Amino acid sequence: MSRARVGILISGRGSNMAALIEAARKEDCPYEVALIVSNVPDAAGLDYAAVNGIPQFAMSHKGLSRAEFDALVDGALRDADVEYVALAGYMRLLSPGFVAAWRGRMVNIHPSLLPFYKGLDTHRRVLDAGDARHGCTVHLVTESLDDGPILAQAEVPVLEGDDAEALARRVLIEEHKLYPRVLADLVRS
Ligand code: GAR
């Protein structure tokens, strides 16, 4: 079986990246992770990628325009023959040209039930609003932040006594299950 080549973009911890890499170990997984890109050269997730022997492109965006930096990332992805891009805690807005180049082949995971709670600090905002449920979303990436066609969501209940950290932990468990499944479905489709 030939597998779709995926590039994963991170900025930090990389736990969703790790979940995607782990899922790709299975023989019947329809994708392989071909490249990890980070705009933060010392992102914690890069160590995990290195231990797993996955090529990296890690470079700070500082001093470059958004379009210039994204052009370098695009070049690295193409050099690695990447076909799909998965944003996994990539905390950087993308240039319109980059989004257009990967349209329909670039996904993001966001820790809320979109279209609610785009942006940062979603768990705190859900608690402040007194919502009964929360969750995560995988969606195709468009020009707008945390927007674009929703591919799938997973829900968790907000429990009595939850603080933002506890809620984040439960949502993250769902993120790690949801993302590999949705990415696999996308590359199969
Ligand atoms: C995850 O919760 C992810 O959903 C979120 O950042 C975290 C990254 O954690 N992404 C966004 O907020 C994107 N708008 P990770 O580096 O351990 O995967």
Strands 4-10 and 84-87: parallel
**179 pLDDT higher than 90:** yes
State residue 152's pLDDT score: 98
In the chain, where do the E strands start and end?
4-10, 31-38, 56-58, 84-87, 106-110, 133-140, 150-157
Output the residue whose Cα is nearest ligand 1's atom 9: 89
Contacts of 111 (CB under 8 A, 6+ apart): 122, 123, 136, 168, 171, 172, 175
If you average pLDDT over every residue of the chain, what do you get?
A: 97
Query: Which residue ranges have their beta carbon within 6 Å of ligand 1?
Result: 10, 12-16, 45, 88-89, 109-111, 146, 172, 175
> Biggest alpha carbon distance in the chain?
49
State residue 52's pLDDT score: 94
- Our mutation pick for probing the ligand 1 site, out of 116, 120, 175, counting the most ligand atoms within 8 A of Cβ, is 175
pLDDT per residue as tens digits for the range 133-165: 999 999 999 999 899 999 999 999 999 999 999
pLDDT per residue as tens digits for the range 32-57: 999 999 999 999 999 999 999 999 99
Residues 16 and 154: beta-carbon distance below 8 Å: no
